[in-house]
Amino acid sequence: MQHSSNLIIYGVTGNLAKLKIIPALYDLFSHGKLSDTSLIIGIGRKAYDHAGFCEYIDSVISEYAQKNQIVLETSTLSKLHQNLRYISGDVSNPQLYQQLNEMLSADSAHPNTIFYLATYPSLYQEIFKQLKQSGLNTNSRGWVRVLIEKPIGSDLCSAKDLNELMSQYFTQEQIYRLDHYLGKETLQNILYFRFGNSIFEPIFNKEYVDHIQITSSESFGIGQRGMYYDNVGALKDVGQNHLLQMLTLVTMDAPKAMTNEAITLERMKVLTHLQPDLASLVLGQYEGYLQEENVNPLSVTNTFFALKTEVTTDRFKGVPIYLRAGKMMDRTVAEISVVFKKPTNQLFKKFDAEEAENILTFRIQPDEGIALRFLSKKPGHNTVLQSGSMEFCYKSISERLLNPYETLIDDALSGNQTFFNDAEEVEAQWQFIDPFVAAKIRPLAYKAGTLGPAEANTLIEKDGRTWLAASEFFCKI
């Protein structure tokens, strides 16, 4: 479906727009998702004329293409140039909105508009106020939507305040709270894999599942994000959102329909039945963090966390779920592993067999795919059982997966809120994570290139389990 809509981007010269949004715009035009007359209006403080703004956009897209080995299409760039507009100014200045209104009235062939706030949350209130005063937050001829990025608040109280603020200017149908993890192909595929096949769903429950592990590790540090990250830490940066999104999709019950309302209802059921184990929390900080740029030399910000929880629904009550995430770890990987119980029968007791559980793994990144570990007989005269795997790898069917931002912007243009968070969901996530943050545990030092503090191993080993090592050979085609 091709969209005939206008997209106004606040903070278009900022880091988020540079890394995520502008490349997604190129992909949307390249894949024919935006019409030739859809305006892309950037708003920023830097002074650009049209040629200068196009040059900036080209430099961002060229860097993106080089990094991802994409051959740029000159026709797509030309189309993008024709649709680009730029307004420089202070977002609190009414003249900026008058200029924006005039630009839309003069140049736009479409009444539909999305406002994408790729800027600091502290500016939201002023932007919303100015949009209302200028009449841009409503449109009698078409629709108006607003896109904002996680984090939505910094705790439950601030999240409620922000949700209340937005409700003063927009209806819930207009608000799209974006967490790019929900745009990742493998994460979305969990729904279709589980509920579209009759093979696994009957055993996704406490009778068959021993435990679940969710890991999001990065082999790099905070980079240039010190000013932001030192006020947030890993627990808030990815624990409150990314890992909980992974958890809800793998443990939710089947929705009654593939609609936003039905799917959100089941995700909410999981979040409201999450039992935090505060005593399980382990926090870490990688050695060298205190020397990073814009980091307080006395900082106690966590760059790693591990914790245990449980979903007390009928389906998974009693099944432990272990979460961990961190920076400067041994490798970059994000995955969910559902570990099934070992068979209680003694059928193969007299044969040599590996002590290996059946494990179903959803690899979110990199080398995206789904793998199942199982036991089979090793070829030969003797009966020896060994573990093997069956894999579904995206590389085998697609050269390149869609950019999650492209997917979610396309959904917002379509009016599909399924893979966005509503207000209640965001607040439920904070309600779960806030007690862990309030625990005020001092982070333990860990060396770069490791799996985090040794105490994280103790957390799971005292239950008679171990952290799974991410396979380096997963979907290596």
Active site (catalytic) residues: 242
Q: Measuring CA to CA, how many Å separate 285 from each of 32, 238, 300, 325?
A: 45, 15, 8, 11
* Alpha-carbon gap, residue 56 to 41, rounded angstroms: 14
Is 212 in contact with 319 (CB distance < 8 Å)? Answer: yes
* Alpha-carbon gap, residue 8 to 413, rounded angstroms: 12
* Alpha-carbon gap, residue 451 to 472, rounded angstroms: 15
Sheet holding 384-393, edge to edge: 352-353, 384-393, 369-377, 359-365, 333-340, 209-217, 320-326, 304-311, 274-286, 444-446
In the chain, helix, strand, coil percent, each to 5?
35, 25, 40
Is 86 in contact with 44 (CB distance < 8 Å)? Answer: yes
Query: Which residue is it, tokens 């939505």?
Result: 152
Q: Which of 315, 361, 328 is nearest to 468 (CA)?
A: 361
DSSP-assigned letters across all residues of 46-106: S---HHHHHHHHHHHHHHHHHHTT----HHHHHHHHHHEEEEES-TT-HHHHHHHHHHHHH
Instruction: Map residue 311 onto helix, strand or coil.
Output: strand
Q: Which residues touch 79 (CB under 8 Å, ≥6 apart)?
A: 29, 36
Q: Which residues touch 5 (CB under 8 Å, ≥6 apart)?
A: 34, 38, 110, 112, 113, 114, 413
* Alpha-carbon gap, residue 475 to 477, rounded angstroms: 6
Cite the beta strand spans of 287-383 per DSSP E: 304-311, 320-326, 333-340, 352-353, 359-365, 369-377
Q: How many residues belong to the chain?
A: 477
Is 162 in contact with 152 (CB distance < 8 Å)? Answer: yes
Count of other CB atoms within 10 angstroms of residue 120: 11
Is 189 in contact with 404 (CB distance < 8 Å)? Answer: no
DSSP-assigned letters across all residues of 146-181: EEEESP--SSHHHHHHHHHHHHTTS-GGGEEEE-GG
